[in-house]
Amino acid sequence: MGTQWSMIRALITQVGFFVIVYEICSAYYGPDSAGGGAIVLIICFTVFILVPCLIVHVQYLKYNLDLSVTIDSTERTISLSYSHAEHSFNFEEIKFVQVSLTPPIYRGGKFGWFIWENYCYATLVSQGGERFIITGILINDPETFFKKLGFIVTRKKMFFPFIWEDRYEKIVNPRSIS
């Protein structure tokens, strides 16, 4: 788990790993026979690592565009503000925080095999049933962060870290707060 820059660093590391594997394959098989294998390697890397990572990262960036979270631990308040709106509430108004994690992180690991497995998000559930989503690129390690603030934190396992907005739950996007 981590912030946006740590996710980008991890992606660059995986691209570097891909280049090393490609160079080893081309050196081992020779320049003439590496062409077919290189195309398969590039397609697999793109489909299974790069595209899913970019989809999640762009969704998280769009979701948190111009969003800022201000926490005042002495006043025990949280403020979510977007460019044109703000919503503030007391810690007591939060029923619980649900952190959605991929299986490797859910089991207690520090990182997953695929870079997109390191993404996560937290859903703040208020007493009134409203849900506010904060992604892991905005707050590093949301589970530890909200536990330190004294919130009840529940964990939810998810295979892919895409934010699925359930039609039956009232999820408040800070953009729609008036």
Residues 42-54: tens digit of each pLDDT:
777 778 878 888 8
Tokens of 60: 């998280």
Tokens of 13: 């590391």
Question: What are the phi and psi torsion angles at 94 (to 5°)?
Answer: -90, 120
Cα–Cα distance for residue pair 127/91, rounded to 1 Å: 10
At 81, the pLDDT band (50, 70, 90 cuts) reads confident
Residue closest to 152 by CA, chosen among 161, 143, 163? 143
Q: Is 24 helix (H, G, I), strand (E, B) or coil?
A: helix
Residue closest to 78 by CA, chosen among 155, 141, 2, 130? 130
Where do we find the tokens 């691209």?
A: 15
Angle formed by the axes of helices 4-45 and 51-63, nearest 10°? 150
The alpha carbons of the chain give a radius of gyration, in whole angstroms, of 20
Q: What is the pLDDT of residue 37?
A: 65
Total of domains in the chain? 1
Percent of the chain residues past pLDDT 90, beyond the cut: 13
Instruction: Tell me the per-residue pLDDT of 96-106, one tens digit each, with 9 for 90 and over.
Output: 999 998 888 78
At 129, the pLDDT band (50, 70, 90 cuts) reads confident
Residue 87 contacts residue 177 (beta carbons within 8 Å): yes
At 148, the pLDDT band (50, 70, 90 cuts) reads very high
Q: Domain of 36?
A: 1-178
